Amino acid sequence: MSVTAASTLTFDRFFQELGNVAVEFVRIDREIEALFQKPSINTAFDLSAKVIMPLSCITAGCVLGTAFGIYLFAVSLFLNTLVLIAIRDNPELIRELPSINDYFSKENGLRNITLGLAAWFPLEFLTEMLVGLIEKIFILLGHPLSGVQDIGLLLSSGGLGGLLWMFIGCIIAPVGEEIIFRGWLTDLLKESEDPSSWNRFVTAVKTNAIFGALHVSPFQGWFNIPIFAATFIMGMCFSLLKELTGSLWAPMTCHMAGNMISTAILRY
């Protein structure tokens, strides 16, 4: 399956769809009604995303400043608009994508969850080594890196905003990102149905390059380089776990464990 553009994206078209996305975030009542009329993982996840996203932008702005809150909201609207346009131009994409349940096989569930937990330790060691190497390279170049990831400041913040970001960072983000990146996006970016290892590797590289890019921001400066590298490597390992187990239980568990432990270290 490959993504093809069915029409030329113009500024008029983009801003028209941007308005539609903005209205969807305002009319949360529609998502609540859909959840009650047809309870499912899809409607529950849709409601959570549309409630959490505006709240996360507000709390991020309170902790990191108004400029960051506006930046986060603008990026979210931009990405949601592109997704909406892609769906409307290629409605067959949605019909061909597996349902969320298809990504979570009931077979060997406990084994896959255990594998995900065990995989976190070597993955954490690998990413720490990589980040340390990049930092040493910058020191040798005479430009020592200093700073912290934006999400780190948010996860370590206090009050209701801190609790919200703990929920987002430890629950919503791992579940949502695995479904989106190691699930749907991986299927969308497949060049062909060729099951060869090389094609699966190329798809994983493209998917996790996007995954890494979405974790950088203009507020982090040169610190974006180790953040992108670590996130990309983590994503590749999550993709490998999915390939080994055939479901998202292992990568999702590994992702959640990593975020929870990182949050605990930041806060305590």
| pLDDT tens profile 100-157 | 888 998 888 899 999 999 999 999 999 999 999 999 999 999 888 877 788 888 888 8
Residue 98 DSSP symbol: P
| C-alpha distances in Å from residue 239, one per residue of 59, 158, 189, 211, 246 | 31, 33, 13, 11, 10
Helix, strand, coil percentages, rounded to 5, for the chain: 80, 0, 20
The CB density around residue 218, as the number of other CB atoms within 10 Å, is 9
In percent, how much of the chain has pLDDT > 90?
A: 41
Model pLDDT for residues 78-104, shown as the tens digit of each residue? 888 888 787 778 877 777 778 888 899
Beta-strand ranges (E) seen in the chain are none
CA angle 237, 183, 47 (to 5 degrees): 120
Work out the angle between the directed axes of helices 197-213 and 224-245 (0-180°, nearest 10): 140
DSSP single-letter state for residue 106:
S
| Number of Cβ atoms within 10 Å of the Cβ of 15 | 10
Distance in angstroms between the alpha carbons of the first and the last residue of the chain: 46
Chain centre to alpha carbon of residue 191: 22
Listed by start position, the domains of the chain span 1-96, 100-268
Residue with the bigger pLDDT between 95 and 60: it is 60
Q: In terms of Cα–Cα distance, which of 261, 218, 213 is closest to 235? A: 213
DSSP 9: -
pTM of the model: 0.85
| CA dist list (Å): 50 to 24, 91, 159, 235 | 8, 22, 22, 24
